[in-house]
């Protein structure tokens, strides 16, 4: 597993965003996919993406994935 800089190409010239949609029950599938992504990459989502946002359940998942234990 390389560093996060090598994962993102080592460039600061771009920002990587994640947009999450709503849809009630589809949020369970979305949460499962996000967990899979974070597990495979080896980093939490807030370290992979510069901006995370969403609507409805996607917004709730965005808040949950951007939060850290240290505040």
Which one, of 19, 17, 23, 18, lies nearest residue 57 by Cα?
Answer: 23
What mean pLDDT do residues 3-21 have?
A: 72
**Residue 15: partners with Cβ closer than 8 Å, 6 or more residues away:** 50, 51
Q: What is the pLDDT of residue 58?
A: 92
pTM, full prediction: 0.72
Q: Residue 71: which pLDDT band, with cuts at 50, 70 and 90?
A: low
């Amino acid at each position: 597993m390389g560093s996060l800089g090598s994962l993102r190409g080592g460039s600061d010239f771009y920002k990587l965003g994640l947009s999450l949609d709503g849809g009630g029950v589809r949020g369970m599938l979305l949460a499962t996919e996000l967990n899979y992504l974070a597990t495979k990459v080896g980093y939490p989502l807030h370290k992979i993406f510069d901006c995370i946002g969403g609507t409805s359940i996607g917004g709730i998942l965005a808040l949950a994935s951007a939060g850290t234990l240290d505040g």
